[in-house]
Amino acid sequence: MAQRVDLDGKPVAAMSICMIGGGGFIGSHLSEKLMAETSHKAVVVDVSSEKINHLLGESHPWSSRIEFHHMNIKNDSRLETLIKASDLTINLAAICTPADYNTRPLDTIFSNFIDAIPVIKYCTENNKRLIHFSTCEVYGKTIGSFLPDDFRKDPKYYMLKEDVSPCIFGPVEKQRWSYACAKQMTDRLIYAEHAENGLKFTIVRPYNWIGPRMDFIPGVDGPCDGVPRVLACFSNNLLRGEPLKLVDGGRSQRTFLYVKDAIEAVLLMIDNPERANGQIFNVGNPDNEVSVKELADLMIQVYAKVAGVPASSLSTLDVSSEEFYGKGYDDSDRRIPDMTIITRQLGWKPKTPLDKLLDDTLQYQHQTYSNAIKKVLSKPSN
Q: DSSP letter string over 190-249?
A: HHHHHHHH---EEEEEE--EE-TT-S--BTTTB-TT----HHHHHHHHHHHTPPEEEEGG
Handedness of CA 350, 86, 66, 39 (dihedral sign): positive
Q: What is the mean pLDDT of residues 372-378?
A: 84
Number of DSSP helices (H) and strands (E) in the chain, helices first: 13, 15
Q: How far apart are CA 180 and CA 26, in angstroms?
A: 19
Q: How far is the C-alpha of 372 from the C-alpha of 127, rounded, in Å?
A: 47
Summarised one tens digit per residue, pLDDT across range 63-84 is 999 999 999 998 788 999 999 9
Q: Given this model, what pLDDT does residue 327 score?
A: 80
pLDDT at 130: 98
Mean per-residue pLDDT of the chain: 93
- Give the confidence band of 22 by pLDDT, cuts at 50, 70, 90: very high
Which range, of 73-77, 201-205, 232-236, 378-382, averages the lowest pLDDT? 378-382
A 10 A CB-CB count for 57 gives: 9
Q: Specify whether 191 is catalytic.
A: no
| pLDDT level of residue 381 (50, 70, 90 thresholds) | low
Query: How far is Cα 145 from Cα 149, in angstroms, rounded to an integer?
Result: 9
**DSSP sequence for 123-154:** HHHTT-EEEEE--GGGGBS-GGGGS-GGGTT-
Of 204 and 151, more confident: 204
pTM score, two decimals? 0.94
pLDDT of 328 over the 80 cut: no
| Average pLDDT of the segment spanning 258-280 | 98
Can you give the length of the chain in residues?
382
pLDDT score, position 382: 57
Distance CA 235, CA 228 (A): 10
More confident residue, 327 or 31: 31
Residue among 101, 179, 303, 325 flagged as catalytic: 179
Task: Report the percentage of the chain scoring pLDDT > 70.
Answer: 99
